[in-house]
Structure formats: C-alpha cells, structure tokens
C-alpha cells in the first residue's frame, strides 16, 4: 500500500477478508517490500496481491524507498500465486524537496506532503521497469497474473490528473 494506491488496497482487503482470507498489508516504503518478500521466502504467505510496486522505480532511479533488487522474486521463486499491478511505478520517492538530487532539477514533481516529494518516471525508465517486471515475473514457478490499470497506474496518472484535476505535477521542487 502507498498513499496513491490506498483506496484500491483497502477495497481488495475487504473483498479478500469476506472470502475468508487473513490479509497482511505492507507499505511500499522499502521496508514493507523487503518484509513481504521475507515472509514469502519463509513460507508464511499463501498468495500475493502486489498492488504497489513503486519500490522498483526507487531501486532503478535512486529514490529513498527501494526494497532492493530482489523485489518481486520470492513469490516467483517459491511458486506462490501472485497478482501483480504496476501501482505507483510512475514515480520515484524522495524526502522533502531540498533532498532531490540536482541532476533531476528539470523533471516533473508532485509534492505528496511536506516530507515526501514524488518525481515522475520518464519514458526510458518506464521501458526499463517493464523489462525488469517481465524478467522477474517470467521466472515465476507458480501462477502469476499482471493487471494493468487502464485509468492510470497511480492517482497522479489518473484521467483527472492528466486533465488538470485535483492531483497535478509541477516542474522542479523548491530549493
């Protein structure tokens, strides 16, 4: 779960619990992804609904919420059924605006809150992230399904945001 995918995660949690499943929710802040992967590796998870994979954008580009290069491998390795969504894969996470490395000064940013700044991924990064996902998920020894949200992969990629609605991006954070 991550702020931009919270509504979807909360809805999925209700549906799964009504179906009799015990649901653990992990926040996609690096630690959450690593913890989820370790529980799958330990054989304590029967299935994975991975709606928020933003940690991979941070791993690739240098954000602060990376879960490491093994993210998306545990379920694949152990044959654990998985449904994976590229949720929030369109953003890299940094702390307050002043912490964003200068090399990114011309990129698009979204101030999530005073302490977290989101930077939009670019076309080359998105292409590479797609390749990484394909490599990781093609290694699955169990059933895996990838769902691609048709209305955007995050709230800042939604039709409302793209048309100037409530969530808007801007260039270069304040320094």
Residue 100 lies in a domain: no
What are the backbone angles phi and psi of residue 78, rounded to the nearest 5°? -100, 5
pLDDT surpassing 80 at residue 167: no
Instruction: Provide mean pLDDT across the span 16-32.
Output: 97
- C-alpha 14/C-alpha 24 separation (Å) is 12
Q: For residue 165, what pLDDT is reported?
A: 63
User: Which domain CATH number covers 27?
Assistant: 3.40.50.12030
Instruction: Band the pLDDT of 96: cuts 50, 70, 90.
Output: very high
pLDDT surpassing 90 at residue 82: yes
Residue 115 lies in a domain: no
- Contact, 49 vs 83, CB < 8 A? yes
**CA-to-CA separations, 158 to 22, 81, 129, 168, in angstroms, rounded:** 30, 28, 19, 10
pLDDT surpassing 50 at residue 175: no
Q: Give the domain range for residue 137.
A: 6-90+122-147
pLDDT surpassing 50 at residue 119: yes
Q: Residue 94 CA to chain centroid, in angstroms?
A: 14
Residue 82 lies in a domain: yes
Residue 56 lies in a domain: yes
Instruction: Band the pLDDT of 66: cuts 50, 70, 90.
Output: very high
Q: Coil, helix or strand for 84? A: strand
Residue 44 lies in a domain: yes
Only one residue has tokens 């409530």, namely: 166
Q: For residue 169, what pLDDT is reported?
A: 45
What are the backbone angles phi and psi of residue 123, rounded to the nearest 5°? -60, -45
**CA-to-CA separations, 62 to 14, 94, 102, 160, in angstroms, rounded:** 34, 9, 13, 28
Residue 126 lies in a domain: yes
Residue 13 lies in a domain: yes
Residues 21-32, buried b or exposed e (16+ Cβ, 10 A)?
eeeeebbbbbeb
Instruction: Report the mean per-residue pLDDT for the chain.
Output: 92
- C-alpha 16/C-alpha 111 separation (Å) is 32
Instruction: Provide mean pLDDT across the span 75-87.
Output: 97
- C-alpha 169/C-alpha 161 separation (Å) is 8
Return the structure tokens found at 39. Answer: 């529980």
């Amino acid at each position: 779960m991550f702020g931009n995918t919270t509504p979807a995660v909360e809805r999925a949690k209700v549906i799964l619990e009504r179906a009799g499943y015990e649901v653990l929710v992990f926040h996609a802040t690096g630690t959450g992804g690593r913890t989820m992967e370790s529980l799958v590796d330990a054989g304590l998870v029967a299935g994975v609904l991975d709606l928020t994979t933003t940690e991979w954008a941070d791993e690739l580009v240098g954000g602060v919420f990376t879960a490491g290069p093994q993210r998306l491998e545990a379920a694949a390795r152990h044959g654990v059924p998985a449904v994976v969504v590229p949720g929030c894969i369109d953003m890299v996470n940094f702390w307050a605006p002043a912490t964003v490395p200068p090399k990114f000064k011309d990129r698009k940013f979204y101030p999530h809150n005073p302490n977290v700044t989101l930077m939009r991924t670019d076309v080359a990064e998105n292409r590479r992230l797609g390749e990484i996902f394909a490599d990781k998920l093609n290694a699955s020894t169990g059933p895996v399904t990838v769902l691609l949200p048709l209305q955007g992969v995050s709230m800042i990629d939604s039709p409302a945001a793209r048309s100037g609605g409530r969530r808007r991006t801007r260039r270069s954070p304040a320094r």
